[in-house]
């Protein structure tokens, strides 16, 4: 059984399907799980700001009967006041799980190495696994089956792209990653996703040519500048504007839906009109963060009652 959730890269397609089905069950029949985390406490260590992740974990844990202690200022410099190793050892004395949003994936690996309780990645520089599960849950709801559907991720190749690639590969979702030159996804993670995709038949394609995009089911984008990237918007805006998700791109690509993990920047990576349109899955994605994360916590540390 899986002990932590850092990346999903060691998950099998069957396990991923099972987790997606559990997330759907949690969403449809929450009362089946209301005591699953009874008497359990988790700690959230957040080095970066959050709206969706923080609130959905906190409220989600309450709905499962558990309790969350949130640390922000203390966590801003995880290894500053004491070693990450010592934080992991101390937190394991009281907490049943650690949820961490960190700058560097290596911080999560260090927490994992020394904590005796499950560690859950709430976003790092390389991955955002909870987001990806919530996103494919949204797709599963609108399409009934995600296998064989095509997602086009457009914009900056980043943590969200990487987790969408990994989870999508495990679920058999075809993916086209469209980025400006110099902003490609991490090649090692793309290659890892391609390996995972061999068992499901998912096709993964990368391109810089936005005009070639056609026959896709959903368009997905994220901020052009991730948290911690201090590049001025003015330096990259011209390069990224052709990659904006807008009405014309929706028509050209044939996509039925648009997706964004949020926070969104209206009329930059996606038009405000599309966010507010019937094609938008943004609020479904946000809503599903809680159900997806609750499914993850039920698998990692839950006791069904």
- Shortest distance in whole angstroms from residue 286 CB to ligand NVA: 11
Q: Is 101 among the residues known to form the active site?
A: yes
The candidate with the shortest Cα–Cα distance to 269, out of 287, 252, 283, 249, is: 249
When asked if residue 123 is in the footprint of ligand CP (CB under 6 A), the reply is yes
**Cβ closest to ligand NVA, residue 36 vs residue 158:** 158
Taking CB within 5 to 8 Å according to partner kind, which of ligand CP, ligand NVA, none is near residue 51?
A: ligand CP
Taken in order 95, 96, 101, 105, the sign of the CA dihedral is positive
Query: Catalytic: which of 52, 54, 101, 114?
Result: 101
Q: Is 221 a binder of ligand NVA (CB under 6 A)?
A: no
H-only helix segments in 144-281: 159-171, 187-197, 233-240, 247-253, 272-275
Q: Which stretch binds ligand NVA (CB under 6 A): 4-12, 54-62, 158-166, 168-176?
A: 158-166
Residues in CB range of 262: below 8 A, 6 or more apart: 51, 52, 282, 285, 286
Rounded least distance, CB 56 to ligand CP, Å: 8
List the beta bridge partners of residue 121: 100
What pairs with residue 45 in β-bridges? 71, 100
Coil, helix or strand for 59?
helix
Would you call 298 helix, strand, or coil by DSSP? helix
> 245 to 304, contacts with ligand CP by CB under 6 A?
261-263
Does the protein bind ligand NVA through residue 36 (CB under 6 A)?
A: no
- The binding site for ligand CP (CB under 6 A) comprises 50-53, 123, 131, 261-263
- The binding site for ligand NVA (CB under 6 A) comprises 123, 158-160, 222-223, 226-227, 261
Catalytic residues: 101, 128, 131, 222, 261, 289
């Amino acid at each position: 059984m899986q002990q932590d959730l850092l990346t999903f890269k060691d998950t099998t397609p069957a396990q991923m399907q099972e987790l997606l089905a559990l997330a759907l069950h949690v969403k449809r029949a929450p009362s089946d799980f209301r005591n699953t985390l009874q008497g359990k406490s988790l700690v959230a260590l957040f080095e970066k700001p959050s709206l969706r992740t923080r609130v959905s974990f906190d409220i989600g844990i309450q709905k499962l009967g558990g309790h969350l202690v949130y640390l922000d200022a203390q966590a801003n410099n995880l290894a500053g006041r004491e070693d990450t190793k010592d934080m992991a050892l101390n937190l394991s004395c009281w907490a049943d799980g650690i949820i961490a949003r960190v700058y560097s994936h290596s911080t999560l690996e260090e927490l994992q190495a020394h904590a005796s309780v499950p560690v859950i990645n709430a976003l790092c520089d390389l991955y955002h696994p909870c987001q990806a599960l919530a996103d494919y849950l949204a797709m599963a709801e609108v399409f009934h089956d995600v296998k064989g559907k095509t997602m086009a991720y457009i914009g900056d190749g980043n943590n969200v792209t990487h987790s969408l690639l990994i989870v999508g590969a495990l679920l058999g979702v075809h993916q086209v990653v469209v980025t400006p030159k110099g902003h490609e996804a991490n090649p090692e993670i793309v290659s890892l996703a391609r390996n995972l995709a061999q068992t499901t038949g998912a096709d993964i394609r990368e391109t810089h040519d936005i005009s070639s995009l056609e026959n896709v089911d959903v368009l997905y984008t994220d901020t052009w500048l991730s948290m911690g990237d201090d590049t001025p918007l003015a330096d990259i805006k011209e390069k990224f504007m052709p990659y904006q998700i807008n009405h014309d791109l929706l028509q050209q690509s044939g996509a039925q839906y648009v997706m964004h993990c949020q926070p969104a920047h209206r009329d930059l990576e996606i038009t405000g009109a599309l966010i507010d349109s019937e094609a938008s899955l943004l609020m479904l994605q946000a809503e599903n963060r809680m159900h997806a994360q609750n499914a993850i916590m039920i698998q990692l540390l839950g006791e069904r009652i």
